[in-house]
Structure 1
Amino acid sequence: MDRPSWAPADVDLDRPSVARVYDYYLGGSHNFAADRAFAEQVLKVMPAVAGLARSNRAFLRRAVRALAAQGVRQYLDLGSGIPTVGNVHEVLADAGVTDGRVVYVDHDPVAVAHSRAILAGVPGTAVVAGDLRSPAEVLAQPQVQGLIDFTQPVAFLLVAVLHFVPDEQRPADIVAGYAAAGVPGSHVVLSHAGLDRPLTPAEEEAWEMYRRSPTPLILRTNTQVEALLGDLTALPPGVVAPHAWRPAGDEEPPPEGNAIGCVAVARKD
């Protein structure tokens, strides 16, 4: 296939990427045939996945608006993906925040390249190529240090990413590594795939597709996700399904069936 102008030359077009598959679920346009084929395989057995992705993205928007209302102006979006559907800096602008600062971090070269293209010249934003699993390295990046004032509260966004981090890579330590860099009043925004019941046959089949993919999906229960927050304090309503976190009346209804995942916004005291 012809390489799109926005795709870096070293990207393998035949290898699906979780960031680009997620972009496809959200209705974005920055994905390749391999990403669409993988997504359609999942959607064939579990059509609700696209709605779940949109519900998760809607949670991110509500969480950012809620933190902005509390005066949080700095955001580190870790594993930000393809920023074509609901950018954090746009949510802040819609909320009337004129002094927001957002650093987008991802290891996917397409996500990084596209982010840099669309954010060129946008004040208060930066894009970092980095692996969220290494907090110290991400936090030390010049773009992060140059834009984020760590003497003021920061929101660390870990949305739909930690379920790709296996237990042996200690996801709780990743959360703690970022939280440790924030002053009191900083927050962690987290969403995670999983559930507190047995999988249905369709869910099992969809999960198996991810387990065979280059980036296997790890499902965790609500209790296990809550444990990832460590000594952070979850804001009401706690660890809940994405559509149940401070729902807004103007959003589309939650996807049919039980939610497959949970979310939380937690504060550092």
Structure 2
Amino acid sequence: MNNDATTFKQKLSRAYLWLVPPVTMVVGFGIAPVSYKIYLPVWLLNACLIILSAYHLGLRKLWAQGPSGKQQAITALLLFMPWLLFSMFAGMGPPPSTLQGWVNTAAEQQTRYAILIAGGILLLLGAALLKTQLQATGENLYSILAFAALSIAMPLFIINMAFWGYYLTDAFRVFAANPDAKRPELYVAIKSLFYVISVAEVILMYLGTFLFAVALKITGSLSKPSARWFIGCSLIAILLELIPPSWPEPFGTAGFLVAIPAIPFVMYYLIGVRLLVR
């Protein structure tokens, strides 16, 4: 009876953790933004439920297994902590589509991109521990390549998020205050530069997922079906990101979706959840 109750808690916890990213995306894109007085308490409740679910799923058992178990527990936490933070975006909604809307919510937009930067830092720390853990089991090729890909991607990601959250916010304030003023000549060139940075960063993040999935499959940390799923999704995302925005639908929209800043983190989040039940 006790074992049945434990199994039920684990299944419920796993289901809850799996649902966090899709529910966040559906609510974030499907419902108009709400006041922080509403979404912050809801987010705090969700954050507590995520931690509780992780505890029941395997965090407690891993922590009791000594140094190696604690390292795996911390690795898993660091990999899915970004999406614990990103779940706040369900209440924020997507960034405004107008210049004035961006200016009116400037503080919230800066908070959004600061959260994304924090998520990137947490992911890189988790990837460093995952690489060390895989190397300890004898996998010294794909884990190193995966971490190298992320080590290149994260500085680009942080620069890109700082551009959107801080450079563009200040630029939009100036444009809104002087709507008739001519845009600086470098404005378009800088946007083109950051488009290239964004493409490179997204491809490298999915490449990191692909390589980590191969390494986890080799060490037996991922089953063959799970590894194939991660590998297949990563390759599809890379191909979609390489498609020019000018291509006809649905390719343009699909490429846009895989490049949304929080989306590449979903794969690492799911790897983190998987590490808890190993």
Quick check: which one's strand share is greater?
1
State the structure with bigger RCO (CA 8 A, min sep 6), 1 or 2: 2
Q: After TM superposition, is the score higher than 0.5?
A: no
Larger proportion of helix = 2
TM range (shorter): under 0.3
